[in-house]
Amino acid sequence: MTTTTGTAEDTRRGSAELSGLPSPPEQPVQGPLSAKWITAELLERTRQVWSVVYGREISADEAVEILINVRNLAEVLLDIENGREGL
pLDDT for 36: 84
Please give the biggest Cα pair distance in the chain.
Answer: 60
pLDDT for 6: 55
Supply the pTM of this predicted model: 0.58
pLDDT for 83: 86
Closest CA to 46 of 58, 32, 34: 58
| pLDDT tens digit at each of 87 positions of the chain | 444 455 555 555 555 556 666 655 555 555 555 678 899 999 999 999 999 999 999 999 999 999 999 999 999 999 998 887 655
Closest CA to 59 of 28, 14, 38, 18: 28
